[in-house]
Amino acid sequence: MSKIFTTSLFLLLTLPLLAFEISREQKTPDFKFEPFERNIHISEDLDAEIRALKDKPQSEWTGQDSLTYGIQLVLLHQYELSLSFILRTHYDTVSNPEKLHLFQESFLRNEAYDALHKSILFEKGDDFNRVLSYRLDVARAMMLLKQGVWDSNTSKMFPEIIRLKREERSKEENIAIAHDLDEALRLFVVHLNRQSNEIVSEAYEEFGDFLLDNFTESNAYIAYSLSRYYYNRNKSVSSKIKEVKSVMDEKHYILPSFRKIFGKIQPGRFNYELLKEKQIEKDSVKAPVVELPKKEKNDLLPKYNGQLIILIGILIILLGVILFVRTKR
């Protein structure tokens, strides 16, 4: 009788375990979003050029000096004033990519989309460059939206990547498209900072559709989340996020952490004056650096320890019951 009881109890406790599946991360070997760099970075040469303006009377400024000051105003987020300085110079003759991108940030934030499109076109030149071609597509869509002729329900920025299905393109081509589009859209992320933008939202939604068709749900979830971040009234992308979540739950996949990929902006990080002062302090006072030996971490528990602890707990209870029954005998 005790054997029957023990066997029945064993089956009762172990049958749920057979259906119990530990959630795991979805593997994304061919493409994955790397964390976004949202902090300001400029070269030492440009920083020195900006600092040199302080020692030069404004009455002696050249056109190049005015352009440099316009760039400094972009870094200080004084976008309207920066645009007035940039447009009064021969900015369209500057080929330095770093300066071009700062001009483009001013154009974007002032909704001067014609100038933005012209600047990207100048940067691209006659060479084939898919990254810049994608950025041109986004700038063109911004122009059309401002003119009132862009239909969010029917218009597409990247119809060529949506039109063809996975089997109609090589795997290598799909990977190249994903990386190029990721690079193209990241610059808009840097320029927009926290500012909403309907077109960038739609661009990431289209990117998400492409990733869902050709890669994984995890990839699509990040792209759709970026889309919603830049325009939270985008109803279509909200429904797509729900669908992707549902599919991933059914497959027992863990949702990727959007916060890890797209971290919060720390206060002061985009304050160029503050950064300059911190750098001056850092240059003038250099404390000795003592490197301490690093302590090796021993991961005693697996990554998904919560679910495993539940599983182990059930097994311990089962063993305890079996031992109790045997003791009774």
Per-residue model confidence as pLDDT tens digits over 259-310: 888 876 655 544 556 545 654 554 454 444 445 455 555 444 444 555 666 7
Q: Is residue 27 part of a domain?
A: no
129 and 213 both lie in a single domain: yes
Could you tell me if residue 293 is inside a domain?
A: yes
Is residue 36, in this structure, part of any structural domain at all? yes
Residue-level length of the chain: 329
Residues 14 and 37 grouped into a single domain: no
Query: Do both 55 and 199 map to the same domain?
Result: yes
pLDDT at 328: 57
229 and 328 housed in the same domain: no
Of 183, 195, 181, which is closest to residue 265 (Cα–Cα)? 195
The answer to whether residue 173 sits within a structural domain is: yes
Residues 6+ apart with CB under 8 A from 206: 156, 157, 158, 161, 162
pLDDT of the residue at 222: 96
Low-confidence stretches of the chain (pLDDT < 70) are: 1-21, 163-167, 264-309, 311, 321, 324-329
For residue 152, the model assigns a pLDDT of 86
Residue 53 belongs to a domain: yes
Residue span of the structural domain in which 243 resides: 32-299
Q: What is the pLDDT of residue 308?
A: 62
Question: 161 and 239, same structural domain?
Answer: yes
Q: Helices (DSSP H) in 264-304: which residue ranges?
A: 272-284
For residues 53 and 12, state if they share a domain: no
Does one domain contain both 16 and 44? no
The structure's pTM equals 0.77
Beta carbons of 223 and 208 less than 8 angstroms apart: yes
Q: Is 254 a domain residue? A: yes
pLDDT for the residue 286: 46
Please report whether residue 226 resides in a domain. Answer: yes
For residue 55, being part of any structural domain is answered with: yes
Tokens in use for 328?
């009774």
pLDDT at 140: 97
DSSP class per residue in 40-83: ----HHHHHHHHHGGGS-GGG--HHHHHHHHHHHHHTT-HHHHH
Distances (CA, A) of 221 to 154, 215, 230, 261: 22, 11, 14, 12
Contacts of 3 (CB under 8 A, 6+ apart): none
Q: How many domains are contained in the chain?
A: 2
118, 234: one domain: yes
